[in-house]
Amino acid sequence: MTEPANEPTTVRERALPCGRTLADLVAVAADGPGADPVLVAHAADCPHCGAELAALRAQWDLVRAAAAEPVHTPDGLVSRVLDSVRGVRGRGGEFQLDQVGGALLVAERVVVLLARSAAADLLAGHGGGHLRSVRAAGDTVDIGLAVRFGTPIQPLAELVRAHVSAWLREHLGTSVPAVTVDVVDVIYPV
Ligand SMILES: [Zn+2]
């Protein structure tokens, strides 16, 4: 006697000669003996269920082993991603930070606030100068610095520039505006 065509039976619903279904055995193989202790006891003596369960457990062991395998970042992936980061464009009140898979728009005032905070923090600890201005100009962030008389200007300017750039990268990602530092004033001792 053949099965009616309008009553399809999936593999999992297929009953074994003993009446148990493959779906029940899959549950035991996947979730452990606690999923159905009665079936486990039955399978210990049933040749049909015993053979199916052994095969299913072997398959699930492979699945578990694959799931436990740590996923390693392919060699060179990070540098390829960084290479594809294209750059920064000013967009009238916003910086467009091009990134993999799209662009991030950040309001200029947000970038200016971040840069100001970073520069002020550094200068407070360094003591060699004061922050006079921070403004967004096209694709860059310009920092105006007043340097204390006698302080080597170039090293301080570079320190500020590097610190602000690193701070922006930390908050905005790898693609950030260029930072320029202008020494606009000298503070003389009183
Ligand atoms: Zn059975």
Q: What is the pLDDT along the chain (190 residues), one digit of tens a residue?
A: 444 444 445 555 678 899 998 888 988 988 888 889 999 999 999 999 999 999 988 888 887 887 777 767 666 666 555 544 445 566 668 888 877 777 888 888 888 889 999 999 999 998 899 998 888 887 889 999 999 988 899 999 999 999 999 999 898 887 888 999 999 888 887 7
Neighbours of 96 (CB within 10 A): 16
The pLDDT of residue 115 is 92
Residues with Cβ–ion distance below 5 A, ligand 1: 18, 20, 46, 48-49
- Cα(13) to centroid of ligand 1, in Å? 14
Distance CA 127, CA 123 (A): 6
Tell me how far the alpha carbon of residue 62 lies from the centroid of ligand 1, in angstroms: 24
pLDDT per position as a tens digit, 121-145: 999 998 899 998 888 887 889 999 9
Q: What sign does the dihedral 98-99-105-108 (CA atoms) show? A: negative
What is residue 47's predicted lDDT score, i.e. its pLDDT?
94
Contacts of residue 74, defined as CB under 8 A and 6 or more positions apart, other chains included, come to none
Domain boundaries, the chain: 22-68, 79-187
Question: How far apart, in whole angstroms, are the C-alpha atoms of residue 171 and residue 53?
Answer: 53
- Going from the Cα of 49 to the center of ligand 1, the distance in angstroms, rounded, reads 4
Residues 6+ apart with CB under 8 A from 63: none
In 30-177, where do the E strands start and end? Answer: 88-90, 94-99, 102-107, 129-137, 140-148
Give the pLDDT confidence score for residue 161 in this predicted structure: 95
CATH number of 79-187: 3.30.70.1350
Using DSSP's 3-state secondary structure scheme, residue 21 falls into strand
3-state SS class at 114: helix
The Cα–Cα gap between 162 and 147 comes to 17
- Tell me the backbone φ, ψ of residue 64, rounded to 5 degrees: -65, -40
Say how many Å lie between the CA of residue 40 and the centre of ligand 1: 9
Residue whose entry in the numeric block shows the structure tokens 């074994």 = 16
Residue 80, pLDDT score: 53
Ligand 1 mean position, distance from CA 53 (Å): 10
Specify whether the CB–CB gap between 142 and 127 falls below 8 A. no
Ligand 1 centre from 14 Cα, in Å?
12
Residues linked to residue 182 through DSSP beta bridges, in sequence order = 144
Q: What is the pLDDT of residue 5?
A: 46
Residue 155 has what pLDDT?
Answer: 92
CA 52 to ligand 1 centroid distance, Å: 9
Residue-wise burial string across 36-45, b where 16 or more C-beta atoms lie within 10 A, e elsewhere: beebbebbee
Residue 15 in contact with residue 21, Cβ under 8 Å?
Answer: yes
